[in-house]
Chains A and B, each alone.
Chain A
Amino acid sequence: MSVTPAIDTKATTNGSKRKKSFVELLFEGRAFFALIAIVVVFSLMSPNYFTVSNFLIMASHVAIFGLLAIGMLLVILNGGIDLSVGSTLGFAGVVAGFLMQGVTLPQFGIILYPSVWVVVILTCLLGAAVGAVNGVLIAYLRVPAFVATLGVLYVARGLALLMTNGLTYNNLGGRPELGNTGFDWLGFNRLAGVPIGVLVLFVFAVVCHVLLTRTAFGRWLYASGGNERAAELSGVPVKRVQIIVYMLCGMCAAVAGLVLSSQLTSAGPTAGTTYELTAIAAVVIGGAALTGGRGTVIGTMLGAFVIGFLSDGLVIIGVSAYWQTVFTGAVIVTAVLLNSIKYGRR
């Protein structure tokens, strides 16, 4: 008896489907088209909307959410969720503010004034440490991500409140004689007219994009988010990936905290409350699947800009803050609806 190979008709018919129809194209780029629609509509409604200066202002608002969303994207690609980013943002801002005030060491009778770069690095490390707590809880102690990060949300917020006793650090400027000036550089300075915060977001987005598309780590992340068991059996260190992802997310939140407190020239313990939800929304609008394994940096950035440009646009045309909330919610639900149509079709 001879062997007749089974002809796979599915694979051959699929060839004709490769060319995407116009509808499919519209569907694929839905976040992009949504952004364009938002810009067009608001430009028609307000002469102030379509100006370079307004775009830069809006972009520096987006920077905060965008940074959080990049970190959140990594976590969501892994099939997790990080509810603690808003608190981490606030906590990081407070710690930075605290360091800027000078650290008193009573044993030695001295006050240390770390320079701004040291503050930035320490704050980033703090964010990573918070993320590591999340990661270890989730990867090794098997606490569900939702619960673990919910707990850390409260703990980080509580610590921030404890550190400041509920008050706000207002003096972040530093003093020239102590050599710790320059904190406002992040929030106020511009390079070639672009706010530093926006540039930071851009750099993070590019680095993260390269990380996801061009490195083995990126592949590990997509694989373990898509099917953890299969990834593990293919030799992917799934637990390590998980912890690193939460650390990176915490670090993004800390950077966002630095940019925000620099923009505000103050560090308050309640900064960033509910920002985690905006970050999740940006990732989802950007087409990522909450079940993991699907999503891109470009999509997430589009999602962040959709939310930012929409809410700022509503402010500019004078819609009440209450309606803004309603609109934002409607956009999120629509986005998830479209995602479920897309991923549900297979």
Chain B
Amino acid sequence: MSALPEDGPKDDVVLAARNVAKSYGSVHALKGVNFDIHRGQVTTLFGENGAGKSTLMKILSGVEQPTLGEIILDGEPVVFASSSQARDRGISIIHQELSLAPNMNVRDNIFMGREIMTATGVDFAEEERQTRLLMAELEEDIDPLTPVEDLRLGQQQIVEIARALSVNSRILIMDEPTSALSASEVEVLFKVIHDLTGRGVSIVYISHHLEEALQITHHAVVLRDGTMTAYAERKDIDLEWIVRHMVGDNFDLGSPPTGYEMGEVSLKIEGLKVPDPGGAGYSVVDDMSFSVRAGEIVCIYGLMGAGRTELLESVAGRLAATAGKVLLKGRDITGQSIAECIRDGLVLVPEDRQRDGLVQTMTVGRNLSLASLGAFTRGLFTSAAREAGLVGAAIRKVHIKTDGGAAEIGSLSGGNQQKVVIGKMLATEPEVILLDEPSRGIDIGAKAEVFKLLAERARQGLAVVYTTSEVGECLSIAHRIIVMRRGRISAEFGPDATKEQIMAASGEAVHAH
């Protein structure tokens, strides 16, 4: 391993983090990280989801303040109280979700909030001239008067970059800039990045496409679980080095449960096709077929946009499929509503628990009982006693740490909130449970608990399908690993697969375009 950055910032280091730590309550997102940004060079931050990349970027760009440690800009410690303060000092961040107003044109977006004023109002001509100048510098043929919504995503990103440059940014942080771009747009972006570095702009780059990032980076920093595990210059490293440091020796997330007979096929999917929910006209799930037996745990691995979420949502009755069949215990349930699927024993734990999983205005108990109201309704009325019994059992079975059913949902930690969502679906006593990224945004201990819980249930005959974008989680409790890539199954592995094999099959290591 190469040496970590030394304590004193070197001459070409424009921005540095020293022992930066960040805690959210009891969750430690960053545990003392050192990080250097070199003038006119690209520094790429590698790490799995939840490794702390975004938190570090938020701290560097002033969106959040570190709990401990300091930020050093041009050799002097600085404190950014807000992102606008950081921007005033020349640090801009371009988020994965672009922050442009789609209804306004390029010129107005670039000068939003700092319009050039004259005595008679906004000097549109001057703004337009400067915009043209910026676009010429970036060698992009975008008319300043085009509405942003008419631009391709790649061009919109260029507009964001132009906006950052228009405030004289010296340091540009890019969070997954290529995840939604086409191959040619990526090329354009890389050319722009290259030009920018030539002009002395420093770039911090975050990407899941490892090989792609290796093309442009000068320095690589790897984060894992809030600590920096490795630092090196481009010339000293290769893909294998990154993967090794990214994944590391994983926390033990369990192993596939054994010692029992798997049952009949519980869930069978044949030739499922799901159109893009955004109406883009192609299939996000393209001819998927697989089956899961009672007591079996199947992991579906894939990158963002591989179609995992759409696959699960379609099976569970939320998205309509254009072709294919879903069979539950041999019975065709294709096209059933969510409520009918739940009644028949097929449930989905959605990916985004805040948006799709929890009702924030209801208590823990009411969230837990929401999917199984029928179980404690007699005639017209619900029975408070039966409900309390069901809630109590759910809290015990999924080990939720709470004051009881009457507690506010917001009083729970992320991991316990996730257990509420899982407990709610398990309370319906399903035959098949689909979990979309069950480990997202919860700490490692809670992850292990969730996986242990699923393994226990599988032992009792539940068919479990979960998705993940962290390769370490594939090699935990799953009996079988299905790798999805662009809506199709690209490979299938047993529990003895290696991380490199799985990542290669997903297209993560090799650039997918």
Contact = CB atoms under 8 A, between A and B. Distances in A.
A234 B316 CA distance: 11
Interface stretch (B152-160, B297-305, B353-361): B353-361
B379 to A, nearest CB: 10
A10 B411 contact: yes
Given A215-B380, A216-B377, A230-B357, 5 more contacts: A11-B407, A223-B366, A231-B370, A237-B339, A293-B361
B410 A346 contact: yes
Nearest to A289: B361
B408 A235 contact: no
Contact of B412 (A8, A215, A293, A294): A8
Interface in B398-424: 399, 401-403, 407-408, 410-413, 415-416, 424
B260 interface: no
A19 interface: no
Given A14-B411, A223-B370, A6 B445 contact: yes
B416 A11 contact: yes
A234 B371 contact: yes
Nearest to A18: B403
Q: Chain A contact residues (Cβ within 8 angstroms of B): what range?
A: 35 or more
Interface of B: 25-26, 251-252, 316, 318, 337-339, 341-343, 348, 350, 355-362, 366, 369-371, 373-374, 377, 380-382, 399, 401-403, 407-408, 410-413, 415-416, 424-425, 428, 443, 445-446, 448-449, 452
A5 interface: yes
A293 B358 CA distance: 12
B381 A214 contact: yes
Contact of A293 (B359, B402, B416, B428): B359
Nearest to B364: A11
B318 A233 contact: yes
Instruction: Return the 8 tightest CB-CB contacts between A and B, nearest first.
Output: A293-B361, A226-B361, A6-B445, A226-B359, A235-B339, A8-B401, A234-B371, A235-B342
A229 to B, nearest CB: 5
A252 to B, nearest CB: 20
29 contacts: A3-B449, A3-B452, A4-B445, A5-B446, A6-B446, A8-B413, A10-B412, A10-B413, A11-B401, A11-B407, A11-B411, A14-B408, A18-B403, A214-B381, A216-B374, A219-B369, A226-B359, A227-B360, A229-B350, A230-B357, A230-B370, A232-B318, A233-B338, A233-B357, A234-B371, A236-B339, A237-B339, A293-B362, A346-B408
A325 interface: no
Interface in A270-312: 289, 292-294
B449 A11 contact: no
A235 B413 contact: no
B370 A219 contact: yes
Contacts of B424: 234
A222 interface: yes
B359 A227 contact: yes
Contact of A222 (B252, B366, B413): B366
A11 B403 contact: yes
Interface string A225-260: 111011111111100000000000000000000000
A1 B401 CA distance: 23
B318 to A, nearest CB: 7
Contacts of A289: 361
B403 A233 contact: no
Given A15-B403, A215-B380, A233-B318, A3 B252 contact: yes
A346 B448 CA distance: 29
Given A5-B445, A227-B359, A219 B416 contact: no
A289 B341 CA distance: 32
B254 to A, nearest CB: 8
A6 B443 contact: yes
A10 B343 CA distance: 35
A127 to B, nearest CB: 23
Contacts of B403: 11-12, 14-15, 18
A220 B377 CA distance: 13
Contacts of A11: 401-403, 407, 411-413, 416
A292 B361 CA distance: 9
A9 interface: yes
Interface string A1-36: 111111111111011001000000000000000000
Contact of B382 (A10, A216, A227): A216
Nearest to B27: A6
A219 B362 CA distance: 10
Contacts of A12: 401, 403
Contacts of A215: 377, 380-382
Contacts of A8: 26, 401-402, 412-413, 415-416
A219 B338 contact: no
Interface string A139-166: 0000000000000000000000000000
A292 B362 CA distance: 11
Contacts of A214: 380-382
Nearest to A220: B373
B82 to A, nearest CB: 21
B416 A222 contact: no
Contacts of A7: 26, 401
A81 to B, nearest CB: 17
A229 B356 contact: yes
A178 B452 CA distance: 76
B355 A229 contact: yes
Nearest to B376: A216
B362 A235 contact: no
Contacts of A234: 342, 370-371, 424-425
B95 to A, nearest CB: 23
A52 to B, nearest CB: 35
A1 B374 CA distance: 42
A245 to B, nearest CB: 16
B367 to A, nearest CB: 8
A241 B276 CA distance: 28
Nearest to A1: B252
A215 B383 CA distance: 9
Interface string A312-336: 0000000000000000000000000
A214 B384 CA distance: 8
Nearest to B384: A214
Contact of B361 (A4, A225, A233, A235): A225
Contacts of B251: 1
A144 B382 CA distance: 32
A271 to B, nearest CB: 34
Nearest to A293: B361
Candidate in A216, A225, A235, A293 with the most chain B CB atoms within 10 angstroms: A235
